[in-house]
Amino acid sequence: MNRTFIIAEAGVNHNGDLPTALEMVRVAKECGVDAVKFQTFQVDELVSENAAMADYQKKNLASEHTNSQKEMLSRLALEDSDFGKIADFCGEIGIRFLSTPFDVESIHFLSPMQDLWKIPSGSVTDYPYLVEVAKTGKEIILSTGMCTMDEVHEAWDVLKKNGCGEITLLHCTTEYPAPLETVNLKAMHTLQDEFGCPVGYSDHTKGIEVPIAAVAMGATVIEKHFTLDRNMEGPDHAASLEPKELKAMVDAIRSVETAIGDGRKNPSEAELKNRIAARKSIVAKCDIACGDILSEENLTTKRPGNGISPMLWNEVIGKKAIRDFKMDELIEI
């Protein structure tokens, strides 16, 4: 059984507060995820002065009275020193630390702290960024939200040409929350067929049903935003799971993994004991005298299944009864 790699996306739901970030690590560990992921960015390197917020950010930050991405991100950024403390705490309690770099400087900063990169959808077309990530030689999980297939190919080629490790592609709908009709989980299979690589799903829908379905369809990685409290102020809380929901998602995914199995069609040990009770045998439809010809008139099939299989019906028909048989008695030949 392949275990799904579940990433709890803390993102910026700590609202720039280190104690909140550490509490999110603790909660993620309790919920049973494999990794907790943050976001690392140098505001001046990431966004220009005139960059407006996305519509969902404006909606979720209606009380902030700002339309500036830069102003918003400045309030949400952790200090560089905070990431070392978060990574250390992850190591102490036994959960994998990840943070997505959003600029080249942050790639270099984070590189000593992690052996895996999660590239966000917004960076798929950032050539200098992709080159720097690839040059580290580390494994990459690449989100493909907002992407055409050509754009995924272009990013793939840049990463491969510059020495990256194995790539896992995540299907994603970049909307917060993402309406169900926009999800298109079958696109995971399209990516897998096209690139021959592991695939997964980064989820922005409300609830936990879609990531669970993605695992049933073959996702090897699931990423899901979570928050300590969905009512907190911030751009991503409204589309995030609260702790009890995150735990329920993890538990359901682990159950689905168990049910997926190895794909071989054989009766399980649990089934074998039910064969006799559930299957049928060839039995006497009425009393039969020794020497009578066995026929459709004096034979039938009934449970239990510990006699001659009905699949041998044509081999039994026409033979002589080797002894007397009472009605419902198992036939012997």
Amino acid at 299: L
Render pLDDT for 144-202 as a digit per residue (tens, 0 to 9).
Answer: 999 999 999 999 999 999 999 999 999 999 998 999 999 999 999 999 999 999 999 99
Q: Which residues contact 65 (CB under 8 A, 6 or more apart)?
A: none
β-bridge pairing 199-203 and 116-119: unpaired
Region 82-106 average pLDDT: 98
Residue 108's closest CA among 53, 47, 41, 167?
41
- HSE value, Cβ hemisphere, 13 Å, CA-based, for 170: 28
How many other C-beta atoms are found inside a 10 Å radius of the C-beta of residue 218? Answer: 17
Is the CA virtual torsion 264, 183, 191, 121 positive or negative? negative
pLDDT of residue 64: 56
Helix/strand/coil percent split, the chain, to 5: 40, 20, 40
Amino acid at 274: N
1 pLDDT above the threshold of 60: no
pLDDT of residue 79: 95
Domain ranges of the chain: 5-260, 269-316
Tokens of 66: 């700002």
Q: How confident is the model at residue 62 (pLDDT cuts 50, 70, 90)?
A: low
Q: How confident is the model at residue 127 (pLDDT cuts 50, 70, 90)?
A: very high
d(CA 91, CA 181): 39
Alpha-carbon distances, residue 133 vs 11, 142, 197, 252 (angstroms): 19, 11, 18, 33
58 pLDDT above the threshold of 90: no
Tokens of 243: 């702790």
Instruction: Quote the distance between the C-alpha of residue 247 and its chain's center.
Output: 14
Decide: 219 and 229 in contact? Cβ < 8 Å.
Answer: no
Tokens of 39: 């976001």
CATH number of 5-260: 3.20.20.70
Amino acid at 170: L
Instruction: Quote the distance between the C-alpha of residue 271 and its chain's center.
Output: 29
Region 234-240 average pLDDT: 87
Across the chain, mean pLDDT equals 94
Region 55-74 average pLDDT: 68
* 240 secondary structure, DSSP code: S
pLDDT of residue 46: 85
DSSP state string for 271-325:
HHTTHHHHS-EEEESS-B-TTPBP-TTTEEEES--SSS-GGGHHHHTTPBPSS-B
Beta pairing partners, 168: 141
